[in-house]
Structure 1
Amino acid sequence: MPHALQQHVTGPVLTPSDDGYDDEVASFSTTLGHHPDVVVGATSVQDVVAAVHHARAHGLHVAAHATGHGGPPARSGVLVSTRRLGGVEVDAATRVATVGAGARWGDVVAAAAPSGLAPVAGSAPTVGVVGFLLGGGLGPFARSHGFSSDHLVSVTVVTGAGEVVEASEEHHPDLFWALRGGKWGLGIVTGLRVRLAEVPELYAGSLFFDKEHVEAALRGWIAWTATADPATTTSAVVVRFPPLDAVPPPLRGRTALGLRVTRPGDAATGERVAAPLRALAPVLLDGLGPLPLGQVARIHANPTEPGPSWAGGGLLSHADDDLASVWLDRVGPDADHPFVAVELRHVAGATEVDVPGGSAVSGRGAGFTFSLVALDPSTFDDLPAVGRSLVDDLSPWVADELNPNFGGGLGPPRWSAATSARLDEVRRTYDPDGVL
């Protein structure tokens, strides 16, 4: 069967016994473990169409893969690798970027920054644009600019029926609604157009507080968020830094709390906004100030090289001092837990406002997100149970919905009943045989 498919595909078609298969299915998270029956390295939209038709003809499921930061692993069927469908073109006049399915956010940031523009991107430059947008997308500009998918202009999709569709507000609006947050089973995206934000100046970075000041800084930050500037997005992460040369000397081998701050605007206003955060406790390391758009990845400083990882999380309706007590008790600097980093992000603001015509985004009512990250593979089997136990303790604050980009190892996404029903209807329309 793969040989027959190769006749219709210009890119590589590989099975588990072929050289290059492991590289083609490799993920940024090396623990993801794709193992499909066949992987297609698509070099064009027509390659994707051929792969879908092949799957339909042989009763196989088909999935897409670009960077491999998350999502369910493909254990059988056909996996379409879209990483060759890269490329970013920025039209500064219209503030629109045309992005290939294999592009990563770092590619878009680099292409847009010289024009004083920025994508409403995720925090990690290595994350794929498509997967992030299909889940909605919450990044450093969440409070000022909303969900990343709110800025989609159009999406080119190969449906489960093998048809090429251009979805937008004007064309196939039902599919476009679903692609803005519906995540899976809607088609294989080959390219998209996304509107960029004008950000002439950016005030951003991190403040770090040593272990003995984590509690005061965390409680103070949560209280500060109640009246936070709506243009400012912040998060609080407790990190157990390893004693490695790659870690800045003041943080090397320490446990510290980092307050990450992103505020589009001038430095003087940013300084005024951040002053109460600097005053929460003695600052161990101050990395907050004017930041070039091209260096936005420095705010969260996510890993840039593939490796083993486990991540889980969820959405919180609100946060208060009682939540801080539970958080500190379970995953604070003195708690016994297996995570290298635990984070609370303040969202709300612009994320609460849906786009005209609506979208399938899950979690617009959330005020905060939480994330748990582990890097030691020996702990991975136990992490779902540890995470679910924490979720149980956080139940008074856990939101009803669970965004597909945040659940990870802690459970499937949850949309409202009405959104779930509408998503099912759209999936039946564009993938009537359940191929995707």
Structure 2
Amino acid sequence: MSHPLTSRVTGPVLTPDDEGFSDEVAAHNRAVVHAPDVAVGATSTQDVVETVRWAAEQGMPVHVQATGHGATTPVTSGVLLTTHRLGGVAVDPVARVATIGAGAAWTDVVPVADAHGLTPVAGSSAHVGVVGYLLGGGLGPFARSHGFSSDRLESVTVVTGTGEVVEASAGEHPELFWALRGGKTGLGVVTQVRLLLVEMPALYAGTLFFDIEHIDTVLRGWLAWTATADPDTTTSAAIVRFPPLEVVPPFLRGRTVLLLRVARPGDEGAGAAAAAPLRALAPAFLDTVGVLPVARSAEIHNDPTEPGPSWVRGLLLDRADGDLASTWLAHVGPDASHPFVAAELRHVAGATGPDVPGGSAVSGRGAAFVLGIVGADPSRFGEMPAAADAIVQAVAPWASAEVNPNFAGFGTASWAPSTADRLTRVRRTYDPAGVFA
């Protein structure tokens, strides 16, 4: 017997007994396995409308997934609405605006924009879904020079909890638009966004690789350098314990290293001057920092592209000093015992501080750093919550009261109390029955 939704939507409607169900609901993060009552693969905004309306009629919650990079909680009931079929990217080079379908990843947007000499202010991973990233604010390798990626949202097409299609912008449904710029979840199903692109004719970027004996010196030197860093230069320092696996390049296999990532829009001379103090911290065994085509900016972080299991926890820091460096190294440095493959500090602030005209719901505008820890060994996932809690407790003197949802991972996102209250009011307005989980 066919599912009742089959006659209402054009996309696939799958239940757990159907062939293809597991593939349809699979998240990029394989550590999370979804098992909803039904999965609907939306092929149009109307498919989303019909699915939301049907779910509301049945009193069932609606969950939404594009790529599932940020999946942390298994969906065990209700409807999982997948939006990866809602692709498409079109660029208006005169207005410098990209119209992007909800299923698109940055890999879909970057080449289309680049053909017009433009680029989106994207995240560190090109394979992350555009919409989920923007709804959380979005802090990428151009955070200090260009701010939160959601600051460049022009308008958003949303299906509300009542099944109504609305266009949210500064002029229409401004409260919803405010919430969508950083409020992340429970606000509706986004089917399309329009995003302002930027011109970035030159980029000086890449990674400095430091061996284990230099980690202490480089981390401390880099943190001290950030106090007077060039406002156009975004950097991060990640201590990585590369496993002895064939998927890892031979020269990194089984090594513990510090990756110091650098990104500065602008010409080679200014970039080299900005990076010079970092190069002087210690001898790097590999230096890829140099002129980089903007369309290849994902190479700065070289995040994994294939689905796999991961465990992530993050928070924001208001400041950093020598004592933070000592605390960080004691917990995730070369001599520390912990289950994580990578521990990263990203220097932000700069252009992330000022809010957009009309305001936004972004969490973390006052933060100076993003802290992130990543685990990839499923056999050790059971150790990670307690290990992460210990790290979070240790860095509490430097931590922000807010936690950005894109970095919270298996932790809990948080906003300023006034922002959280306002988000609650917006959700009640646009989803009065609480359809969206």
TM interval, shorter chain, is over 0.9
The whole-number CA distance in structure 2 between the counterparts of 1:255 and 1:382 is 20
Q: Secondary structure at the match of 2:195?
A: strand
Q: Check conservation: 1:32, 1:70, Cα contact below 8 A.
A: no
Q: Aligned residue for 2:385?
A: 384
Q: TM-score, normalised by structure 1?
A: 0.98
Q: Aligned residue for 1:219?
A: 220
Q: Secondary structure at the match of 2:330?
A: helix
Q: Aligned residue for 1:84?
A: 85
1:331 and 2:332 aligned: yes
Q: Check conservation: 2:182, 2:360, Cα contact below 8 A.
A: yes
Q: Aligned residue for 1:349?
A: 350
The alpha-carbon distance between structure 1 residues 249 and 287, as it changes in their structure 2 partners (threshold 3 A), is: farther
Alignment of 1:223-262 (within 5 A): 223-244=224-245, 246-262=247-263
1:425 and 2:414 aligned: no
Gaps of 5+ in 1: none
Q: Aligned residue for 1:173?
A: 174
Q: TM-score, normalised by structure 2?
A: 0.98
Cα deviation for residue 382 of structure 1 reads 2.1
Q: Secondary structure at the match of 1:333?
A: coil
**AA of the residue aligned to 1:406:** F
Gaps of 5+ in 2: none
The whole-number CA distance in structure 2 between the counterparts of 1:116 and 1:241 is 36
**AA of the residue aligned to 2:69:** H
Q: Aligned residue for 2:55?
A: 55
1:321 and 2:322 aligned: yes
Q: Deviations over 1:338-369 (max 9, x none)?
A: 11111000000000010000000000010000
Q: Aligned residue for 1:64?
A: 64
Q: Aligned residue for 1:194?
A: 195
Q: Check conservation: 1:250, 1:284, Cα contact below 8 A.
A: no
1:397 and 2:436 aligned: no
The whole-number CA distance in structure 1 between the counterparts of 2:232 and 2:382 is 40
Q: Deviations over 1:88-137 (max 9, x none)?
A: 11122211111000000121112212322211111111110011111111
Q: Check conservation: 2:238, 2:260, Cα contact below 8 A.
A: yes
The whole-number CA distance in structure 2 between the counterparts of 1:401 and 1:259 is 25
Q: Secondary structure at the match of 1:220?
A: helix
The whole-number CA distance in structure 2 between the counterparts of 1:155 and 1:2 is 33
The alpha-carbon distance between structure 1 residues 116 and 246, as it changes in their structure 2 partners (threshold 3 A), is: farther
**AA of the residue aligned to 1:359:** S
Cα deviation for residue 73 of structure 1 reads 2.7
RMSD: 1.1
Q: Deviations over 1:150-209 (max 9, x none)?
A: 010000000001000100001000000000000111000001000111100011000011
Q: Aligned residue for 2:22?
A: 22
Report % sequence identity: 64
In the TM superposition, structure 1's runs of 4+ consecutive aligned residues that sit over 3 Å from their partners are: 243-250
Cα deviation for residue 242 of structure 1 reads 2.8
Q: Check conservation: 2:339, 2:383, Cα contact below 8 A.
A: no
**AA of the residue aligned to 1:115:** H
Which is further off, 206-215 or 88-97? 88-97
Q: Aligned residue for 1:140?
A: 141
Cα deviation for residue 244 of structure 1 reads 4.3
Q: Aligned residue for 2:101?
A: 100
1:275 and 2:276 aligned: yes
Cα deviation for residue 336 of structure 1 reads 0.7
The whole-number CA distance in structure 2 between the counterparts of 1:250 and 1:286 is 14
1:361 and 2:367 aligned: no
The whole-number CA distance in structure 1 between the counterparts of 2:350 and 2:116 is 26
The whole-number CA distance in structure 2 between the counterparts of 1:282 and 1:139 is 27
Q: How many pairs align?
A: 435
The whole-number CA distance in structure 2 between the counterparts of 1:414 and 1:100 is 28
Q: Check conservation: 2:119, 2:200, Cα contact below 8 A.
A: yes
Cα deviation for residue 259 of structure 1 reads 0.6
